[in-house]
Amino acid sequence: MSKGFSQFSEWHFLLTSMKIENCFYIGYITKTKGLKGEVQVFFEYDEPQDLRLETLFAEINGKLVPFFVSSYKLQTNQTGYFFFDDIDTIEQAEKLIRKKLYLPNNLKPEVDPDDFSYKDLKGFLVHDKIHGELGEIIEIHEYPQQFVAVVPYRFKEIMFPLNDEIIKSIDVEEGIIEVVLPEGLLEVYLGES
């Protein structure tokens, strides 16, 4: 088998099997820089320097499209400047503004258990002692005094603080967090009194 066909087969498999559920979100393209196709990426992933950034997948029309990185420079403010192969004009780059960027799950850096933080609970399933399964944490907001989880529940977004009083256990392997929500919190969000 020729080397060219082997590379084609590998990329064909990658392109046809790459689905958002098999990837993790790292950030989005914020703006262009200059006239030669350079773009700025804002990273929502906490440690962008730990990521393998040779190929980024942009969500375009509900599909993940690979963009091969020709060069990049990370900044200290959760941003980076990127040049992609075959994107060499500002007009081409402008079409990528606000596109979400992903990497395959197999490229997600492993987290040292000692470095586990509340932000790592995004994607965990929340189970309340009284109300049962609530849903998956879709967002973690960081405020000066605390972290707050956002969970869709009965067509509403409920928010609750992440602290030792509310969290009873965390099963990292299963991705489940056991909580006891403050009395009346769900009723406030659901409009039930």
Other CB atoms within 10 Å distance of the CB of residue 147: 15
Q: Is the pLDDT of residue 32 over 60?
A: yes
Answer with the one of 107, 126, 142 that is the final residue of a domain. Answer: 107
Residue 2: the pLDDT is 44
Give the Å distances, CA to CA, from 12 to 53, 57, 101, 103, 105: 20, 14, 20, 17, 18
Q: Is the pLDDT of residue 145 over 80?
A: yes
- Judgement on whether residues 100 and 145 belong to the same structural domain of the protein: no
User: Both 20 and 91 in a single domain?
Assistant: yes
Q: Among 107, 136, 165, identify where a domain stops.
A: 107
Number of domains in the chain: 2
* Tokens, residue 147: 């972290």
| Better-scored residue on pLDDT, 77 or 17 | 77
Q: Are 120 and 111 in contact (CB under 8 A)?
A: yes
pTM for the full predicted model: 0.59
Q: What does the pLDDT average to over 26-48? A: 92
CA distance readout (Å), 96 to 71, 133, 142, 191, 192: 17, 38, 28, 40, 43
120 and 177 belong to one structural domain: yes
Is the domain of 83 the same as that of 102?
A: yes
**pLDDT value of position 20:** 79
Q: Are strands 38-43 and 79-84 parallel, antiparallel or unpaired?
A: antiparallel
Full domain range(s) for residue 101: 3-107
Strand order in the sheet with 156-162: 139-142, 147-153, 156-162
Give dist(CA 176, CA 193) in Å, integer. 29
Termini Cα distance of the chain: 69
* Higher local confidence (pLDDT), 193 or 11: 193
Do residues 70 and 84 touch, judged by C-beta distance below 8 A?
A: yes
Q: Does 121 lie in the same domain as 98? A: no
